[in-house]
Amino acid sequence: MPKIRGDVVDTLVAAIEDAQALAKESSAVAAKGMGGVPPKARWYQLVGYLAQVLDGVCKNLELSEINERLLRVEKAMKIAQTKPT
């Protein structure tokens, strides 16, 4: 599971960089029939969305790592409690 999350993080970071590069090159003026929203704004909306998804993945990753550490500590405590002093 950690490898999959790492791959997802790498993919999201690459997508954010690509979308940001496209946003910088895009027009700040909306073309006719585009609903009044310039392409630059649409690309930056995508950058924002991808950043939110990346944030969520990272938070889940941190929680997962904390839970794994807690399980290891609990196991170590059980072992320590069962050993004679």
Q: Summarize pLDDT for 36-72 with one digit per residue, the tens.
A: 889 999 999 999 999 999 998 888 777 777 888 888 8
- Length of the chain in terms of residues written: 85
Distance CA(2)–CA(79), nearest Å, equals 27
Residues 14-41 have pLDDT tens digits of 999 999 999 999 988 888 876 788 999 9
Contact indicator for 48, 19 with CB cutoff of 8 Å: no
Closest CA to 16 of 56, 42, 54: 54
Reading the block at residue 47, the tokens are: 């950058």
Distance CA(20)–CA(46), nearest Å, equals 9
